[in-house]
Amino acid sequence: METLDELVGKELGEYLIEEKIGEGAFLTVFRGKHKQIDRPVAVKVLNDFSQQERLSREADKLAKVGNHAGIVDVYDADVHANNPYIVVEYCDTSLKSLIEQNGKIGWGIAADYTRQMLEALDFIHKNGEVHGDLKPSNVLLRDNCIKLSDFNTQTIGDPEAYARSMLQSASLMHQGKQPKFTEGSVLYFTPEHRNGKDITRKSDIHQTGQILYEMITGTRFIDREGEASKTGSPKWLDDVIDKATNNNPEKRYHYALDMRSEIQKGIEGKFDVSAGHTVISRIGRAIGLTAKYAGLTVSAPFWFPSWLYRSAEKDTAGSGPLGLFLCGLLYGAGGLLGGVIIDECYFEPKTRAAAKAEFERASPDVHLAYTHYTNLKLVSISKVLDENPPITEIVLPIHPVKSVLGIYENNLFYTGEEILPYGLMSVDRRYPQIYSVSLSDGSCKGLVNNSMDENVWTADKEFEEAHIIKESREPIVKIDGAWYNVGDNGHLLRASRVSLPFEEPSRIVPGTDYRFSTDFYGGEIQFSQGEEFWGDVELFEGNNPMIVRYTPKK
């Protein structure tokens, strides 16, 4: 058997190993690519044969719960090879790297990342599993979207042995002798871990609260000084952290979606809090925005404060005369700062001008698709930065959109769900569905015939993946680990083989380093250049921005 470093430049199964990118307790991770379809992948190769069963459990667990946008996807595995390995989705970076690079992450972005984590955890928990080892290094990012990885598989094989090993690890950590296989994990132990009790979904919630705290403060939760809830972020977010990290599991959020709902309400400003606290929060936000944008142009002292006034007036609605007084102060502060802060004056105009030039050269078949309330909207990339860009609005029969697949021959394809009565009692059941919308007349139809007996088995399931095959332009979906084509009559037909490659919508404009995302206050689409947050430009109200190609008939 070769040493693992010798694998670089060689083939392992269907994959070419390109470079070593990390090493964990029992796995070495390489960046590679599929030899046939040139897709980048992460190849995790076992470096400790005593952990072969653990590798097998990890592959099984990822196959079971990895069918969600917020969980790394598993593509392949061979746990009996000379160099046992599993192949998973390749991600750009991790929260650990972001925190190490930046010291801390703004509370708005941290809240959005946490919201994505909780959506993935909800899926995991509904499948009867727990993650069990959440920490920043296990929370990956791809195109600024969260991907959970590296589940704790030891709890599956022998929970009692796992509990004993965790207790031993905690003891050894105090002696400076932390075992390699728990490296980093001990620092994110919950009270249940430390006391050798069962690890449950509420343990995942506790660790999520720890990660949220660390993103905002740059300090690990275990190293905090004073009250955990004092992070310098809005009070509602401090309260979320405080509840999530309660030592008593019964006093934490019962479900991941409960915590996500609280964060969503906070981002949208829907908490019923005292006017005084609201005003203080808005002052912090307004001053921060003023400092960032006030010097964008020489005329900033004249036009910027009026924008800030409108924003503050909206945000402090219901605060009465005090709110208006503060708006007046901010109106004046904008003018003062606009004359003083000039070092960032070129950022947004420069980004906007450069992007406009890039987008005008962009292929006319590239569109930005996004949702706004119950509608789906499309705008040509070359027109995104126009003052009044022409936008095609599609009224959807179902909301929300699960994923946009692409535009082919003047039809837009997306996945959603369909509700149909079932049985003698006509009980409503939810079925996964692929919709095709004509961009000519707005007509919409579901491609899967969920009313036929052969498809009843899909009730209450979700598409683990859904794609359009580039060559045939036909939809293909994955349910319970198996692939299905959609027949002419709407019947789901088991695919004998999967024809790759797929069309892959993204948030990045092809051929550029410009990306689209939902702003960290939620509800508005912005674009920025590369990974930098400066120079961001807010464009439209909406969510879920995706870049899709318009593919005409050949």
What's the pLDDT tens digit per position in 514-550?
A: 888 876 556 788 887 765 444 567 788 888 888 887 7
Does the structure show a pLDDT above 80 at 178? Answer: no
Last residue of a domain, one of 235, 267, 299: 267
Read off the pLDDT of each residue in 421-431 and give the average, rounded to a whole number. 74
The count of other CB atoms within 10 Å of the CB of residue 261 is 14
462: three-class secondary structure by DSSP = coil
How far, in whole angstroms, is CA 60 from its chain's centroid?
23
Tell me: do 341 and 358 sit in the same domain: no
Read off the pLDDT of each residue in 226-243 and give the average, rounded to a whole number. 81
Tell me: do 109 and 47 sit in the same domain: no
Tell me: do 492 and 421 sit in the same domain: yes
Mean pLDDT rounded to a whole number for the chain: 75
- Tens digit of each residue's pLDDT (9 = 90 or more) over 51-65: 777 778 777 777 777
Q: Give residue for tokens 């919709």.
A: 435
CA angle 264, 73, 205 (to 5 degrees): 35
* CATH code of the domain covering residue 19: 3.30.200.20
Report the alpha-carbon distance of residue 51 to residue 181 in Å, rounded: 10
Tell me: do 374 and 306 sit in the same domain: no
Tell me: do 119 and 199 sit in the same domain: yes
- On whether the CB atoms of residues 537 and 351 are closer than 8 A, the answer is yes
Tell me: do 260 and 287 sit in the same domain: no
Tell me: do 391 and 492 sit in the same domain: yes
- Please tell me the predicted confidence (pLDDT) of residue 252: 94
- Please tell me the predicted confidence (pLDDT) of residue 42: 92
In this prediction, residue 552 has a pLDDT band, given cuts at 50, 70 and 90, of low
Tell me: do 20 and 76 sit in the same domain: yes
C-alpha atoms less than 13 angstroms from C-alpha of 549 in its C-beta half-sphere: 16
Tell me: do 260 and 129 sit in the same domain: yes
- On whether the CB atoms of residues 17 and 29 are closer than 8 A, the answer is no
- Please tell me the predicted confidence (pLDDT) of residue 139: 95
Q: Give residue for tokens 């791809």.
A: 142
Read off the pLDDT of each residue in 236-244 and give the average, rounded to a whole number. 93
Q: Does the pTM of the predicted model rise above 0.85?
A: no
- Please tell me the predicted confidence (pLDDT) of residue 517: 82
Report the alpha-carbon distance of residue 473 to residue 490 in Å, rounded: 16
Read off the pLDDT of each residue in 422-449 and give the average, rounded to a whole number. 80
Burial of 460 (0-12, 13-18, 19+ CB in 10 A): exposed
- On whether the CB atoms of residues 391 and 400 are closer than 8 A, the answer is no
- On whether the CB atoms of residues 259 and 267 are closer than 8 A, the answer is no
Tell me: do 104 and 27 sit in the same domain: no
Last residue of a domain, one of 221, 242, 267: 267
Tell me: do 496 and 521 sit in the same domain: yes
Tell me: do 231 and 373 sit in the same domain: no
Burial of 484 (0-12, 13-18, 19+ CB in 10 A): buried
What total number of domains does the chain contain? 4
Domain that holds residue 54: 4-90
Report the alpha-carbon distance of residue 505 to residue 91 in Å, rounded: 16
281 or 68, which is more confident?
Answer: 68
Last residue of a domain, one of 67, 90, 113: 90
